Structure 1
Amino acid sequence: MTPAETTTQTYDVVGMTCDHCVRSVTEEVSALDGVSQVEVDLASGKVHVTTRQPITTQQVREAVAEAGYQLA
């Protein structure tokens, strides 16, 4: 992947119930190296993560756990 390329992956997060949940997950996942954008859909529990460099599901799992939630 060249520096200009981005990739978006979607994850299912369980336990989010409010806007505070969305902010917490967004903050933790956004802090990962290479993440350029995080979009959280509270209704579906979907988290769309756009990156400039590869990240692992485990990295996302740990960031979501740090926010107090878990990947489905």
Structure 2
Amino acid sequence: MASATYTVTGMTCGHCVNAVKEEVGAIDGVSNVQVELDSGSLTFDSDQEIPREKVAAAVDEAGYTLR
């Protein structure tokens, strides 16, 4: 099991957090998604390496930007 941490910008409320969690959590192999509003931290576990581009696309789909 691998873990990855990124920073998400543009989130302003709990709805934002939930949108990012939902989109990133929908990526095959991703589990235990944690998003912190104050820091913009996105952390998740995965059973395989998830390409950064795939995570960025999911965050973009939610309406935010992966840093």
TM above 0.5: yes
Q: Could you tell me which amino acid in structure 2 is paired with residue 27 of structure 1?
A: E
Q: Does 1:37 align with 2:26?
A: no
Structure 1 runs of 4+ with >2 Å offset: none
CA distance in 2, matches of 1:36, 1:45: 18
| 3-state SS in 1 of match to 2:49 | coil
Over the aligned positions, Cα root-mean-square deviation in angstroms equals 0.6
Identity across matched positions, percent: 51
Q: TM-score, normalised by structure 1?
A: 0.90
Q: Matched residue pairs, number?
A: 67
Using the alignment, how far apart are the partners of 1:56 and 1:37 within structure 2? 17
Tell which structure's C-alpha radius of gyration is larger: 1
1-side partners of 2:47 and 2:11: how far apart? 26
1:59 aligns with 2:32: no
